[in-house]
Amino acid sequence: MGETKIGWATDVWNPVTGCSKVSPGCARCYAETLSLRYGWSKRPWLPEFAAENVVLHPERMDQPLRWRKPRRIFVNSMSDLFHEQIPGIFIAQAFQIMREAYWHQFQVLTKRPERMREFMQERQRLDVEYARKFDDCPTEAMRNSPAAKMARRWAEDGAPYGPNVWLGVSIENDRWVGRADVLRETPAAHRFISAEPLLGPLPSLDLTGIDWLIIGGESGPGYRPMDLRWVDDLVLKADAAGVPVYMKQDSGLRPGRQGRLPDDLWARKEEP
């Protein structure tokens, strides 16, 4: 945990490690490669091995609270916080840390948006229920206490766990653009899409309600090439929707810009 070379974050926080593959973007997962190389996982990240590969690390839970300087934190760079093997109570504990560590920005990225939607909708329901309890307090002082005001703000802002939490989905080809629709139904202060690794054009992608778009190609031996026409189409679509774009990298043997992305595309790179 700590500093990262991932361009759109400054640090990573991994209260969970290990995952299992759900779509083509997972085929050459960098996290799986690292885990197998260093022995953190003993088996490939296939669904049948998920129970032994997905490991909870409760001892890491309070790490962001000990980072006093504000950071942009990628949550679970080595897993998926909404993996079906992770208990709901553990997910809730992680989000409570994000709420408490309000000086950081947390970026939660998933390929399991349905579970994220259900979790956040339930959290919002509980926030509304909690706020209503203050309306039944016997005194005006209790009804207008700081705790009551905070509870109402949580219930009304539509962003469970606070404005410093960004929720995102990965979309690698047009078959999976429905993840963006699920994301739009998810209560959040900010929503983002990671089109990485971009494996095909995304003509059906709707950027309504999206606050940030990341685009990146696959790297390493056996990488699947990214066509720059796909990138250009996405950037033009984002510009039309007023959505900032972060151009992470081209496809190629080694990660990085690689010198093939046109300068006018790289000039569009922005941060949230």
Q: Is 240 inside any structural domain? A: no
Q: Is 181 inside any structural domain? A: yes
Q: Is 5 inside any structural domain? A: no
The pTM score is 0.90
Q: Is 14 inside any structural domain? A: yes
Among the listed residues 247, 169, 173, the one whose alpha carbon sits nearest the alpha carbon of residue 210: 169
Under 8 Å between Cβ of 166 and 191: yes
State the pLDDT at residue 135. Answer: 84
Q: Provide the domain limits for residue 82.
A: 10-195
- Over pLDDT 90: what percentage of the chain? 71
Q: Could you read off the pLDDT of 165-200 as tens digits, one per residue?
A: 999 999 999 999 999 999 999 999 999 999 999 999
Q: What is the rounded average pLDDT for all residues in the chain?
A: 90
Q: How far apart are CA 131 and CA 108, in angstroms?
A: 26
Q: Is 19 inside any structural domain? A: yes
State the pLDDT at residue 123. Answer: 93
Distance of CA 3 to the CA centre of its chain: 17
Q: Is 131 inside any structural domain? A: yes
Asked if the model's pLDDT at residue 258 lies above 70, the reply is no
Q: Could you read off the pLDDT of 26-41 as tens digits, one per residue?
A: 999 989 999 999 999 9
State which amino acid sits at residue 26.
Answer: C
Q: Is 213 inside any structural domain? A: no
The pair of structure tokens assigned to 193 is 């899409």
Q: Report how many domains make up the chain.
A: 1
Q: Is 201 inside any structural domain? A: no
Q: Could you read off the pLDDT of 48-66 as tens digits, one per residue?
A: 999 999 999 999 999 999 9
Q: Indicate the helix (H) or strand (E) that contains 155.
A: helix 146-156
Q: How far apart are CA 49 and CA 58, in angstroms?
A: 21
Q: Could you read off the pLDDT of 122-145 as tens digits, one per residue?
A: 999 988 887 788 888 888 887 888
